[in-house]
Structure 1
Amino acid sequence: MTARPHRPGQRPAPTPRPAERVVLLDVEIARQLSLSLADTRALLRVGSIPARRVGGVWTTTQARLSAWVDALPSADPADPAGLDDADDGGQDA
């Protein structure tokens, strides 16, 4: 089977782009979140990071991980430690 030549008035078929990784493994999740693998797996186990276990390995999709990261609350620039007063149990130090 031979490819048909390009006909005038028709656009040529798009050149396929290299495949992007759609499914991420736990190691790739850790790398993207700049976390250790142990910390990432702990967050995966408690359900903090959206993922599933497939054959004993945690996996998620790039789209799902990106949506989760985008939905995280922004850090307060006035609180460089990333802590707010509500976490101290209502007690002043």
Structure 2
Amino acid sequence: MNATVYTFPDRPQPPPDTGTEHPAPVTQLGGSGVYTVKEVSQILRISLGGTYALIRIGEIPAKKLGGRWVIPKRRFAEWLDSCVGDREPERR
């Protein structure tokens, strides 16, 4: 059996770092601006079904993208802050 071996060309090397250039800031896209329903249920310490129910009635601010619900972090934080004053006093 004859085997043919192919060599790969060397990869071009980046220029050496001189320390004078600053890299562009990195923008994170992978879910950094939104929560999943599961993450919100864990934050609120309520069931996943209860979280979906609150989203469906519009209590928790959320958007449906395709078949998936996402909760914008900024709007969720604002909503959560607004709920603090709505709390009923505890009975003893």
Scaled to the shorter chain, the TM-score interval is 0.5 to 0.7
Equivalent residue of 1:72, what SS?
Answer: helix
Alpha-carbon distance in 1 for matches of 2:16, 2:76: 40
Pick the aligned partner of 1:21 from 24, 32, 36: 32
Shift of 1:22: 2.0
Hey, what does 1:53 align to over in structure 2? 64
Q: Which has the larger radius of gyration?
A: 2
Task: Extract unaligned runs of 5+ from structure 2.
Answer: 1-13
SS in 1 for 2:32: coil
The residue type equivalent to 2:36 in the other structure is L
- Using structure 2 for the length normalisation, give the TM-score: 0.62
- CA distance, structure 1, for counterparts of residue 62 and residue 39 of structure 2: 12
Unpaired stretches in structure 1, ≥5 consecutive residues: 82-93
Offset of 1:21 from its aligned partner? 3.0
TM-score by length of 1: 0.62
3-state DSSP of counterpart to 2:19: coil
Deviations 1:27-46 (A, max 9, x none): 11111111110110000000
Q: Which amino acid aligns with 1:2?
A: P
The percentage of counterpart residues that share the same residue type is: 25
Deviation at 1:14, TM superposition (A): 8.9
Matched, 1:6 2:19: yes
